Amino acid sequence: MDYNNMNYKLWHGCDRGLCSCACGRQDHQLNTYDWLADVPGNAESTDLVEVQFKNTRKGYYHNVNHLPLTKGDYVAVEANPGHDIGVVTLTGRLVLLQIRKANLKSADDIKRIYRKAKPVDMDKYREAKAREHDTMIESRKIAKGLGLDMKIGDVEIQGDGNKAIFYYIADERVDFRQLIKDLAAAFHLRIEMKQIGARQEAGRIGGTGPCGRELCCATWMKNFSTVSTTSARIQDLSLNPTKLAGMCAKLKCCLNYEVDEYIEARKELPSKEIVLETQDGEYHLFKVDILSGLCTYSTDKKLAANLEMISAARAREIIEMNKRGEKPLSLQSDGNVKKPEKPIDILANDDIARFDKAKKRKKKKQRKTAEKGANGKPADNGGKPNGKQNGKAAGRDRQADKADTKKNASKPAAKSGNAPEE
In this predicted model, what pLDDT tens digit does every residue of 232-247 receive, in sequence order? 988 888 888 888 999 8
Tell me what pLDDT residue 17 has.
52
Give the mean pLDDT of 140-148: 93
Instruction: Tell me the DSSP string of 149-193.
Output: --EEEEEEE-TTSSEEEEEEE-SS----HHHHHHHHHHH-SEEEE
More confident call, 318 vs 421? 318
Residue type, 130: A
Residue partners of 312: CB distance under 8 A and separation at least 6: 268, 269, 270, 293, 294, 295
3-state secondary structure of 111: strand
Report whether 99 contacts 93 (CB < 8 A): no
Report whether 159 contacts 87 (CB < 8 A): no
Report whether 368 contacts 379 (CB < 8 A): no
Asked if pLDDT for residue 95 goes beyond 70, the answer is yes
The Cα 32–Cα 355 span in angstroms is 70
The Cα 335–Cα 396 span in angstroms is 70
Measured distance between the N- and C-terminal CA atoms of the chain, rounded to whole angstroms: 151
Lowest average pLDDT, out of 248-252, 281-285, 325-329, 370-374, goes to 370-374
| pLDDT classification of 373: cutoffs 50, 70, 90 | low
Tell me what pLDDT residue 218 has.
84
pLDDT tens-digit readout, 121-142: 999 999 999 999 999 999 999 9
More confident call, 3 vs 108? 108
Tell me what pLDDT residue 363 has.
66
Tell me what pLDDT residue 422 has.
38
Residue closest to 88 by CA, chosen among 40, 32, 135:
32
Residue closest to 168 by CA, chosen among 149, 157, 187, 154:
154
Q: Which helix (H) or strand (E) holds 295?
A: strand 294-298
More confident call, 350 vs 211? 211
Give the mean pLDDT of 339-364: 59
Lowest average pLDDT, out of 115-129, 134-148, 221-235, goes to 221-235
Give the mean pLDDT of 90-106: 83
Give the mean pLDDT of 286-301: 85
Tell me what pLDDT residue 280 has.
81
Asked if pLDDT for residue 107 goes beyond 60, the answer is yes
Tell me what pLDDT residue 330 has.
81
The Cα 13–Cα 263 span in angstroms is 40
Longest alpha-carbon distance in the chain: 152
The Cα 11–Cα 17 span in angstroms is 8
Tell me what pLDDT residue 236 has.
84
Average confidence score pLDDT of the chain: 79
- Domains located in the chain, CATH noted: 10-117 (no CATH), 124-202 (3.30.300), 270-338 (no CATH)
| pLDDT classification of 146: cutoffs 50, 70, 90 | very high
Give the mean pLDDT of 383-403: 51
Percent of the chain with pLDDT over 90: 25
3-state secondary structure of 286: strand
pLDDT tens-digit readout, 33-87: 888 888 888 888 888 999 999 888 889 999 999 899 888 899 999 998 889 999 9
DSSP 8-state symbol, 69? -
Q: What is the pTM of this model?
A: 0.62
Asked if pLDDT for residue 371 goes beyond 90, the answer is no
Instruction: Compute the CA torsion angle 7, 12, 13, 17 (nearest 10 deg).
Output: 150
Task: Examine residue 385 and say whether the peptide bond preceding it is cis (omega within 30 degrees of 0).
Answer: no
Residue partners of 46: CB distance under 8 A and separation at least 6: 92, 93, 95, 96
